Amino acid sequence: MDDEQQRTHGLLFETCYRHPSVSTGVHCTRCGRPICPDCMHPAAVGYQCPECLHEGARSAPRRRIRVQFYLGRPGSVTTTLLLTNLFMFVVEVALSHGEALSGSGPHLDQTLFNLGAMQPYAIAHGQYWRLFSAMFLHANLLHIGFNMYALYLFGYLIEGAFGKARFIGIYFVTGFLASVTSYAFSDPRSLGVGASGAIFGLLGSWVAFNYRRRGSPPAAFQLRWAIMLIAINLFLGFTIASIDNFAHIGGLISGAIAGWLVEGFGARSRRAVLAVGGLAAMTIIGGILTAERTSALLAQIPRLILR
């Protein structure tokens, strides 16, 4: 058969490179080889053969799964705090035989105590590290869920507004003072856990931050929103017996002071020094209150043998 007989409507018919018995006038747009209808795969332009299709799939960039955040991606310090709290809750669940999920059971209190819950008698006998470790423990799934949502929300805002270093200072100083307030005024037989004291510290600092800018409509809105949250949470704290309102109040007040201090005042050249000095002074005041409470407890009770 000559070339003139092979041409039909201007197309030169060849045989498919994968099916030699099938004639075709279509070529792969990638490699140029002839392909029959069974081997045609639609492409952006024309058709591709199966081999080119597979080769393109291997070389195509892989899709990445992205986590969509409600506000935005939290900063590195907030993310670290979130992961640390979640890790510690997993440890609680494992050591309490799952009782940490529901918040009840014979092993839970002992597990929380062993991991560092805030227990006044234990602190009075020298275990002062509990004033910090209690900030990373939670009583049940609802407790950690609510606190971690609040930490994400206010951590995102405060870390973005103040920066990493000042955020760390606010979080740990106010968390410490929240624990000190609870230690000073709560029942010495109680067992306290939770990040809510430090979170109330963030809330207090957010109030201070927006109060300075209250002439701006966005700041005025944030201020009203924060005050509404404070009122709701304090009401719940006074009406629900299991909530440690002393820690909340201590965190809130110290947070408002810390938020005012870390932004600084006076000459710009001295603001950083005054901020660090102010947070250090707050920590010293917390240490004095802790020493006074310890002295009072040791005067009231005999020395306990802690297990």
Question: What are the two backbone dihedrals, phi and then psi, of residue 218, each rounded to the nearest 5 degrees?
Answer: -60, -40
Amino acid, single-letter form, for residue 268: R
Please give the span between the terminal C-alpha atoms of the chain, in angstroms, as a whole number: 101
Token duo for residue 43: 């492409």
Catalytically annotated residue among 182, 196, 205, 254? 196
Structure tokens at 130: 């509990």
Q: For residues 123 and 295, is the Cβ–Cβ distance under 8 A?
A: no
205 touches 126 (CB < 8 A) = no
* Secondary structure element (H or E) that encloses residue 86, with its range: helix 76-95
Alpha carbon of 81 to those of 87, 148, 256, 296: distances in Å?
A: 10, 9, 21, 34
Is position 248 annotated as part of the catalytic site? yes
Query: What radius of gyration, in Å, describes the C-alpha atoms of the chain?
Result: 32
Q: Which of 248, 254, 269, 295 is catalytic?
A: 248
- Nearest Cα neighbor of 244 from 180, 288, 302 is 180
Catalytic amino acids? 196, 248
